Amino acid sequence: MTPVSEHDERPTREAIIDLDALRHNVRRLRELTGVGELIVVVKADAYGHGAEAIASAAVEAGADRLGVADITEGVALRAAGITAPILAWLHGPQAAFGAALDAGIDLGLSSVAQLDRVIEAARDRPSVVPVVQFKLETGLSRNGAAEADWPELFQAAAAAEAAGLVRVDGLFSHVSNTSTVDDRAAAVRFERGVALATEAGLAPRSLHLAASAAALGEPSLRYDAVRLGLAVYGLSPFEPTDDAGRSADAFGLRPVMTLRATVAAVRRVEPGAGVSYDYSYRTSTATTLALIPLGYADGVPRSASNAGPVVINGRRYQVSGRIAMDQFVVDVGDDAVAVGDDAVLFGDPASGAPRVEEWAEAAGTINYELVTRIGPRVVRTTGERS
Ligand X SMILES: *Cc1c(COP(=O)(O)O)cnc(C)c1O
Q: Which residue of 166, 230, 256, 261 would you call a contact of ligand X, by CB under 6 A?
A: 230
Q: Does 237 bind ligand X (CB under 6 A)?
A: yes
Query: Which of residues 68 and 311 has its CB atom nearest to ligand X in the complex?
Result: 68
Among 47, 135, 233, 277, the active-site one is 277
Task: Examine residue 42 and tell whether it contacts ligand X (CB under 6 A).
Answer: no
Q: 10 vs 174, which CB is nearer to ligand X?
A: 174
Catalytic (active site) residue 223: no
Write the binding mask 167 to 196 for ligand X: x where contact by CB under 6 A, - elsewhere: -------x----------------------
Which residue has its beta carbon closest to ligand X?
229
43 is catalytic: yes
Q: Which is nearer to ligand X, 10 or 43 (CB)?
A: 43
For the chain, give the secondary structure using H, E and C: CCCCCHHHHCCCEEEEECHHHHHHHHHHHHHHHCCCEEEEECHHHHHHCCHHHHHHHHHHCCCCEEEECCHHHHHHHHHCCCCCCEEECCCCCCCCHHHHHHCCCEEEECCHHHHHHHHHHHHCCCCCCCEEEEEECCCCCCCCECHHHHHHHHHHHHHHHHCCCCEEEEEECCCCCCCHHHHHHHHHHHHHHHHHHHHCCCCCCEEEEECHHHHHHCHHHCCCEEEECHHHHCCCCCCCCCCCCCCHHHHCCCCCEEEEEECCEEEEECCCCEECHHHCEECCCCEEEEEECCCHHHCCCHHHCCCCEEEECCEEEEEECCCCCCCEEEEEECCCCCCCCEEEEECCHHHCCCCHHHHHHHHCCCHHHHHHCCCCCCEEEECCCC
Least Å distance between CB 24 and ligand X?
17
The count of residues interacting with ligand X (CB under 6 A) is 13
Closer to ligand X by Cβ: residue 226 or 329: 226
229: contact with ligand X by CB under 6 A: yes
If one asks whether residue 228 binds ligand X (CB under 6 A), the answer comes out as: yes
- Minimum separation from the CB atom of position 213 to ligand X (A): 6
The residues that are catalytic are 43, 277
For binding to ligand X (CB under 6 A), which residues are involved? 41, 43, 89, 174, 211-213, 227-231, 237
